[in-house]
Structure 1
Amino acid sequence: MEPFGPATHFSVDPRPTYLCHGFTRIDWVGPFEELRELIGSLDSPDFSVYDQAVDGLEVVYDATYGRGNDTYDGDKSNKIIFGWLYRMEDSFRACLQRKDSVALLIMAHFVILLRTKPFWFLEGWEDHLLDRIAELTDGQFSSWLPWTEGRQQQGLHCETMDV
């Protein structure tokens, strides 16, 4: 017997979240391909760490915005954007803690997803985090950050959970 009853499951529409909640779809596929090209062009011992972080973030974007069609066939738990933070590998977290520029650039791509949540306690955080990431990267990837900075505020409803 479990202390709080049976395990919960998420009852989520199989379509990408933007369709379920009526917010504007962003074209994220091209920028992610460019991000992967950048990571591949770097001579970094952390290549596999970055690549794995982008893989995890890509499935969250796919669940949120789709790939240009009206379907999402992946794991429904990827619709929970904060799941990426919980699934983040310790090695990537270490890159963030040492303020590694590429890791911060990847994190900037996650920050955009915060704009899909209408929670009062998140108001202003995406701008604050993007500004701080721009400062910490000292312009090293300034041409990459406009993609993340140019997103409009989006008001949405969060996923529902059946207990």
Structure 2
Amino acid sequence: MHEGGRGMDIMDIFIWKYFVSDEFLPLLKTPGADQEAIVIYAHFCIVLKKLESQWWLQGWATHLISQAWELLDENHKSWIQWPMEELGWSPPA
């Protein structure tokens, strides 16, 4: 999924889903979702942002990272600093 000489492709989203562990997505769905799983998903938002030329992806990266921010505890919020910078997103004051 890295750019490695080629641009991001819409298939990168589906490839990521295919290769992610079967145990990962349920970690996002449980009440009090796993903090580390949320952090990983926040990093995936960078891929979504790079593919916003697709009309159906526009705004999703920002929406999802803002949701991740809300779900993360104070100890883990600093873990998504880089994706926030890549997206140009800051939490509301």
Give the structure-1-normalised TM-score. 0.45
Q: Could you tell me how far apart the structure 1 residues matched to 2:75 and 2:57 are?
A: 27
Contact 2:39 2:80 (8 Å CA) reproduced:
yes
Quote how far apart the aligned CAs of 1:142 are.
1.5
Find the counterpart in structure 2 of residue 148 from structure 1: 83
Which whole-Å deviations, capped at 9, do the CAs of 1:69-104 have from their partners, x for residues lacking one? xx58xxxxx983211112222211121222111011
Larger helix fraction of residues: 2
1:88-127 mapped onto 2 (5 Å cutoff): 88-98=20-30, 99-117=33-51, 118-127=53-62
Quote how far apart the aligned CAs of 1:139 are.
2.5
Contact 2:62 2:87 (8 Å CA) reproduced:
no
Quote how far apart the aligned CAs of 1:137 are.
1.0
Q: Could you tell me how far apart the structure 2 residues matched to 1:132 and 1:88 are?
A: 20
* Unaligned residue ranges in structure 2 (runs of 5+): 89-93
Q: Could you tell me how far apart the structure 2 residues matched to 1:152 and 1:146 are?
A: 10
Are 2:12 and 1:81 equivalent residues in the alignment?
yes
Q: Could you tell me how far apart the structure 1 residues matched to 2:72 and 2:78 are?
A: 11
Greater Cα radius of gyration, structure 1 or 2 = 1
Q: Could you tell me how far apart the structure 1 residues matched to 2:48 and 2:10 are?
A: 12
Query: 1:138/1:92 Cα in 2 relative to 1: closer, same or farther (>3 Å)?
Result: same
* Unaligned residue ranges in structure 1 (runs of 5+): 1-59, 73-77, 154-163
Q: Relative contact order: is structure 1 or structure 2 higher (C-alpha 8 Å, sep ≥ 6)?
A: 1
Kindly provide the amino acid, as one letter, of the partner of residue 76 in structure 2. F
Give the structure-2-normalised TM-score. 0.74
| Aligned pair partner of 1:138 in 65, 73, 88 | 73
Contact 2:61 2:87 (8 Å CA) reproduced:
no
